[in-house]
Structure formats: structure tokens, C-alpha cells
Structure 1
């Protein structure tokens, strides 16, 4: 039985990791094609469009997408399908409501200051805001499907299908509409986000709960949702966009080539981390379900398994990049090979995080999300302090050292906090 479970786990992990890699390669190819075919100006506008939409998509759900997997797993294990459906409906309405609020605010600002510096973002925002709503729905519906232990249905549309559609549309535009206007390309990108969101919505409809919900129970649960969700909005922003923050900080201190090199190194780190993300998406819903019925021994066993498998994977990934790093960097140009040291320092965060396990998720499922937020804020200040103190002496390596220092501090503090607050040792040696 255990062998069969492990076999399914590793095959699922391999498939999801492969899908992420294919999707990432499609996005990379899209970036390359846009820059070469349509010019740097188009690429810059597309990058700003994605940046605005990405940040808004994290804020619009108010954290409800970040706790979706955990609550879905809990409601299923408690045999409470009515509350699951109530949560899904409430979360989706919240996203549309906040989306309308942001759209109205943007229209008001552009109307009040039509000739201001802000106005140059009018066209981009006209597509970024509806795209952000679609992205928020993607993240929310995906988190529910993952919590219901449907990781493929929850991740493949955004992970694989959307990048394939983007590169396909870009190739078609490059081949048949070489003089395409910016608004046409942004409209196509927005439509692709909504196609992806619609597919996830249809998939979720087949798996969501049913039945009437007790008004008193709904009121009680809604209060609980709002107690924990907003903190997770900030946590998600700091956790998922920590790399972007580092690049923005570096852009204040270093030249364009160094920023490009840093961007490449961080993207390689993200690519290497996909295997761990796939593993956690497969195992953590089972941990949440075991925790919901207070089966602590099963939860601890699953956490131990995830930490050990993740650590072995992380060591293998670090070793592979150590050996192949110079070659991979050389693909972008011979001058990029000098960034191998920076790459390896950044990559060192992978085995460190894997060794100490999924402590943020454990703290979250035990309702200690505020501790996670405090630690992430501290880690951000650590990275800034290291960057300021060392950038003149070691150059771009200062960013990598700051990122590693922040990773070590946050990992150790979260592991210690999880053990102190919950009694669960998330580490691989537990």
C-alpha cells in the first residue's frame, strides 16, 4: 500500500514538474519573440501590464485564495459540503466586488487627472484590471481544487494551457500581423486569462459541494475567514513576490546588465523550485485533511515524508545547477557566465528550505498566520540591510547574500515557531 502511494506521489510530482517546465519555457519563448519581433517598447508595456495585473490579483481576493486549499480540505474531511460551496461562492463574489471597486477607482483617477503622468498607464490599466480579476479567480478556484485533492485539474490550465495559448497567439501575430497595435496584443492576453479562468470554474463546478447552509454557521465561519484571510494576502505578496522585490531594490543600485543577470539567476531558482511546489501541492491537502480530524500522527508522517523527498530533490537540483550552471548562463551570452557564483548562492536557499520543511503551511493550518507575516517582514528587512551594507564591497553578490540571509532567517524562525506553537517538527530529520 505504501509502495503504491509513493509511486503515485512521485509520478504526480514528475508530471506536474514537467508541466511547469514546459509552461516556463513557453513564457520564456514568448518574451524572446515579443522583444525581437515587436520591439522593446511592446515588451516593456507587456511587462508593466503583467506586473500590475499580478500584484492586483494577489490583493483582490483579500487572502481568500491563499487559505482556499486548507479550508476546502477541512470542510471535506468534516463532511460539510454546504459550507464548502458557501465559501466558494463568497470568495468568487468578493473578487468581482473588489475588481469593480478597483476599476471604478482607476476610471475616477484618470478622469480627474487626464493629462498627468498617470495617464500614460491608462491603456495598460484598461486591460490589466480585468486580467487581474481573471487571475484572482484562477488562483482562488485552483486553490480549492488542490484542497479537494484534484491537483492536476487545479494547476494544469494555468501552468501549462495558458502559456501554450500565449505562445501560439504570439506566433500567429508575428507571422500574420507584424505591425500589431499594443491594445490588440493586450486584448488577446486578457482573453487568454479569462479562457483559463472559465476552464477552472467549469472544473470546480463538478467538484464543489451542495446543499443549504445554516445562516448561523455561515456567519460564524465568515467571521473566521476574515480573521485569517487578510494576513495571508500580505504573506502571499511577500512570499510569492520576494524575488521581484529583490530585483526592484537591485535596480536602484546596479546597471542594466547586472539586473538582467540577476533576473536570469532568480528565474533559474524558480524553475528549480517547481519540483518542491508540485510535491507540496500533492501532499499538503492530505496534511490539512488529517489535521482537520485531529489525526496528528498521520499529519506528522505526511509532513516528514514531504520534507525528506523535498530535501533529496533540492540537493539534486542544486548539484545539477552547480554542474550545468555555466552552460545554462552561457546560453544568454558568454558575459553571463560570470554570474555562476551569484546563481549558486541564490540556489542554496532551496535545500535549506527543504530541510526544515513546510513550516509556513503548518503554522497556517494551526491559525498562526500572523507569526508567518511577522517573520517574512523581518526577512525582508534582513535582505535590505545586507544589500545596503555589502553592495559596495561585493557588488551584485550582495543581492544573492541578502536573499540567502533572508531565506535562512525566515526558514529557521518558521521551523522553530511551528515546533513551539504546534508541537510539529517539520524538519526532514524528525
Structure 2
């Protein structure tokens, strides 16, 4: 506050008059104690973390691509996508279950339930990820000969990484549920990418080959270091905030929510990453590398959407627990506007700079520029409805979400399988864009019919809402 006031006084009178309303709004967000200000504050922190993380991820991917070349980089990108995908799936929805129930338990001062929920989620995710890894090793033992030889060692290393990825996702969800934006986002989106790059440079400096196998070894080490330190930090913070030696476990209640969330998140993650996976199945690793570079570049616009979603989830859960339907409608509409306009601005800038940004990966990657236009359209369509999926989930409409995402996922897979063999990388990008458009339309219709909320970035939040619908 003092810094803002000092800066405002230092401005010329004309500029001060213009910027005073904006400064006042920022001051309210930074110092306000109400729930909306807290959510906005978390959105700002999440946005800042995502800006830093996007820069780090982009630079690290450029360096890795330059070091390894198109083939080895594409091979690493394909396997790493599988790690993130199956690591998230192996949580079986418990990382989102924590976000759903912890804010309500905090309102009740039910610290024993909070400690029971967080510990159960961690143990469950670790066990399920370990079981999945064992299954993967058994599969490789019996069917490894049918897989291209250059995949075997990177995939084996990926299987060792799964338990830590799953635990990290649960820890991120726990931090998000408490509104600890830095603790939620920085380990996965800042610390781990930095460590992967650092360990890779050290390994090459010590004489290691510039291959996908070396990259996966460094990724494995970075994931373990990041997650174990995050685990110790979160343990101390939870024990400091929720002083309860008892742990009440309602496993059946939680798993009933977690399983639909597993289907929803699983389908969502599969939909987000299926293009890379199917490109990897149909095309050689160098083509995967080109597609991945284009996707990594345009995805810079999506960190806005992610930041809003991360900030909105706890607030939506709190409004649901308080049965504040009017507040729910108003906040959801506000979140949609938070998501859309910055996404449009950032995406436009990234598109204009696309050829230059892709050339940083290497001369062969510039051919992926046309793919960015398809992906831009898809991300923008999704941003139009903001955190629509999160709203439905927090409103207890998980089963409806499952049905919607099964339809969306089916469309996405069908589009990918139809377009990639014919149009190659352009077909993959077009399939993603069309599927995101279908997702936005279906979520908008579902929210309007079930909750009476017209969730749309251009909608007047005071009109068209029917908050009398049962939530």
C-alpha cells in the first residue's frame, strides 16, 4: 500500500488522475480482507508465477531442443508428456478432492478432517502411482520387443518418476485449497523445470550424451528433489495451521467424489495431451518435436486461464459451502472476464512473434508456425467461459461433467485419428481447436441449464442469471 501511494504521488498530475482509479482497485485487491479480494490476490500471485514459469519453461525447452536436436528432443517431449499425463491420472482424482472439501472443513474448524483428508490423498496417490509403475514394467517385460528400441530406456525411467509426479500433484492441490498460490505453483512450474535444465547442463558438462535418455535421467532426479522438499515444506505448514493430532478419515465419502473427478480430469488431461500422444504414434519423433515446440509457444497464452482457474476453485467451493447462489453467479461471470481478455492480448502478441520464437528452437521448428493459429483459436474459445468445468465440479455436478467430457474426449480422439493421417501436424492442431470449441459450447449449455448461470465473457453479470435453480 505505501509503495502504491508513494508511486502515485510521484506521477504527473494528468497521469495521476488517469491512473488513480486503477491504483485504487489494485490497492483494494492487495489489502482487502474479503473473499473476492483474496481470490483476486491469489489470481495475481498465480498469474505472476505463471509468467515466470512460462518464461523458464520456454527458455529451458529452447535450450533442450538446441542441445538434442529435433529427433531426441521430440522423443523426450513425447515420453515426458506421458509422465505428466499418467502421473496426474494416478492420483485418481484425490488432488481435486482436496480442493473440493478442504475449504468447507476449514469453515467448520474441522482440523481433524483436514489432516485426515490431506494424509489420505498423499498415501493413496503414492500407492496408486506405484501400482501403475509396476504394471508398466510388467508390460515392458512381456511386450517390449514390439516397441521401437529408442523408447525403451526413456519409458523405463519415466515409470520410476510416476510416484513423485502423483505426490506433487496432491501437494499442489492441497496448497491451492488453502489459497497458498506460491506453494501450489512454484514447485511444479518453476523449481522442477529449472532443476531439469540445470541437471541436464551439468550432465552434459560431465560428458553425458545429448540424448533423450540423459534428459529423462535429469528429469527423474529433478522431480524427486522437488517433490520431497515440497512434501517436507507442506507438512510443516499444515501442522502449523491445523493443530490436530487426530485424523478423521471419510474415505468412502471422498472416493465417491474422487472417482468422477478422476474421469473428468483424466479425460481432460487426455484431451489436452492426446494430440502429442497420437502424433507420436503416427509420426516420427522429429515431427513430435516440431509440434511440441509450436504448442509450447502458443500455450504461453493459456497461463492466464490456468491462473484464474487456480484462484477461482477455492472461492467457488466456499460459495457452494455457504449456499450463496447470487455470489456464485457473480463471481463465476467475473472469473470468465478475468480469463478471456488477458488471454486474447497475450495470445495475439505470441502469434505476432511466432516465427521468431520458433526459430529459437532451431531452423527446422519454424515450419510449426501455422499450427499456432489453430491452437490460438481453441484456447480462446475455452477462455470465453472461464473456469466453467471447475464451477460444475464445485457445484456437485461431477456426473454431468463426466458425461460431457466423455463426449468431448470421443470427439477429440475421432478428430485426431481422422485428421492427423491426412493432414499431419496441421490436422492435430485443428483437431485440438475444434474439440476445445465443442468443450466450451457444451459447458456453457450445461451450466446455464443446471445452475441458471450464463457463463460467458461478454455476458452482463446482472442479466440473464437464474440463481433460483437448485445447486
Sort the TM-score into its range (normalised by shorter chain): 0.7 to 0.9
Task: Decide which of 177, 197, 200 is 1:167's aligned counterpart.
Answer: 197
Output one character per residue of 1:222-242: Cα deviation in whole Å (capped at 9) or x when no partner. 222111212222322332342
The answer to whether the Cα contact below 8 Å between 1:46 and 1:186 also exists between their aligned partners in 2 is yes
Distance 1:22 1:106 in 2: 33
Cα deviation 1:285-332 (Å, max 9, x = unaligned): 222222212223333332222111211112212321342233334445
| 1:370 to 2:393 alignment | no
CA-CA distance at 1:84 after TM superposition: 1.0
Aligned to 1:154: 184
Mapped to 2, the partners of 1:392 and 1:195 lie a distance apart of 40
User: For each residue in 1:47-72, what CA deviation from the matched residue of structure 2 results, as whole angstroms up to 9, or x when unmatched?
Assistant: 56534432331232211113322222
Cross-structure match for 2:221: 191
Quick one: distance in 1 between partners of 2:270 and 2:318? Answer: 28
Q: Among residues 8, 15, 27, which one is paired with 2:48 in the alignment?
A: 15
Q: Report deviation, 1:11.
A: 4.2
With normalisation by structure 1, the TM-score equals 0.85
- Give matches, 1:383-422, under 5 Å: 383-387=412-416, 396-422=425-451
Aligned 1:190-339 pairs, distance under 5 A: 190-208=220-238, 209-211=242-244, 218=249, 221-250=250-279, 259-332=288-361, 339=368
SS at match of 2:453: coil
Question: Are the counterparts in 1 of residues 208 and 214 from structure 2 also a CA contact under 8 Å?
Answer: no
What is the CA distance between 1:213 and its match in structure 2? 5.3
Contact 1:95 1:133 in 2 (8 A): yes
CA distance in 2, matches of 1:348, 1:384: 19
The residue number in structure 1 matching 2:60 is 27
Report the TM-score, using the length of structure 2 for normalisation: 0.78
Aligned to 1:344: 373
Gaps of 5+ in 1: none
User: Can you give the 5+ residue segments of structure 2 that lack an aligned partner in the other structure?
Assistant: 1-23, 31-40, 462-471
Alignment: residue pair count:
422
Following superposition, the deviation at residue 397 of structure 1 comes to 3.5
Any conservation in 2 of the 1:68–1:143 contact (CA below 8 Å)?
yes
Change beyond 3 A, Cα 1:100–1:358: closer
Q: Deviations over 1:101-120 (max 9, x none)?
A: 34544565667x49855796
Aligned residue among 384, 387, 393 for 1:358 = 387
Is the Cα–Cα contact under 8 Å of residues 78 and 292 in structure 1 kept in the other structure?
Answer: no
What is the alpha-carbon distance in structure 1 between the residues aligned to residue 424 and residue 125 of structure 2?
Answer: 42
Distance 1:342 1:167, change over 3 A: closer
SS of corresponding position for 2:94? coil
Give the CA RMSD over aligned residues.
Answer: 3.4
1:304–1:427 CA contact under 8 A, matched in 2: yes
Write out aligned runs for 1:11-90 (5 A): 11-32=44-65, 34-35=67-68, 46-47=76-77, 50-90=80-120
Q: Does 1:4 align with 2:27?
A: yes
